């Protein structure tokens, strides 16, 4: 981390394979795994900072994603946070054929509002365990185009 904190912020952070498991200390049961690398730049006034980021996460897993049958995912994302609004683009993939691209925005003032668009391929293999418990099987990949809009 380099830069200064004064009346105007000018902070640069470089992340190199930071363990995502650090989040487990703050969220019992999360059981997060993987690592994050990338850059973060913070500018502006301390009361209204602007943040620009470019992040690559590898092998991302939580107890929830494991429970859903998903393996370690890779996420690349870039974006900004300013004026109580996060705007980002992201690519999400895994070794089983998951391949989603998209992004959007999330407001953070008052009631958070989502405006997200993602499309790509989702392998049916993530349903395998739940279907097998019912004596069913499904093979292949779904092409999806998802929009999420409204209050969170």
pLDDT tens sequence across 98-129: 999 999 999 999 999 999 999 999 998 888 88
Kindly give, in sequence order, each residue whose CB lies less than 8 Å from that of residue 8, ignoring residues fewer than 6 positions away: 43, 44, 45
- Is pLDDT of 14 > 90? yes
* Alpha helices per DSSP H over the chain: 63-67, 128-132
Q: What is the pLDDT of residue 90?
A: 99
Q: What is the pLDDT of residue 63?
A: 96
- What are the boundaries of each domain within the chain? 2-151
pLDDT in tens, 19-60: 999 999 999 999 999 999 999 999 999 999 999 999 999 999
Q: What is the pLDDT of residue 36?
A: 98
pLDDT in tens, 68-95: 878 899 999 999 999 999 999 999 999 9
CA 133 to mean position of chain CA atoms: 30
Q: What is the pLDDT of residue 131?
A: 85
Q: What is the pLDDT of residue 120?
A: 98
Question: Residue 128 gets which letter from DSSP?
Answer: H
pTM of this prediction? 0.86
Give bridge partners of residue 13 from the DSSP assignment: 40
């Amino acid at each position: 981390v380099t830069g200064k904190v004064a009346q105007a912020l000018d902070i640069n952070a470089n992340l190199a394979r930071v363990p995502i498991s650090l989040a487990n200390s703050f969220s019992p049961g999360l059981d997060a795994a993987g690592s994050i690398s990338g850059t973060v730049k913070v500018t502006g006034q301390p009361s209204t900072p602007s943040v620009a980021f470019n992040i690559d996460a590898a092998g991302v897993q939580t107890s929830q994603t494991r429970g859903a049958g998903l393996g370690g995912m890779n996420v690349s994302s870039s974006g900004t946070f300013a004026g109580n609004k996060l705007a980002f683009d992201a690519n999400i993939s895994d070794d089983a054929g998951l391949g989603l691209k998209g992004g959007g925005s999330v407001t953070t003032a008052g009631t958070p509002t989502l405006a997200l668009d993602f499309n790509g391929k989702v392998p049916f293999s993530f349903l395998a365990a739940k279907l097998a418990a019912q004596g069913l099987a499904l093979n292949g990949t779904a092409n999806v185009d998802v929009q999420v809009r409204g209050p969170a």
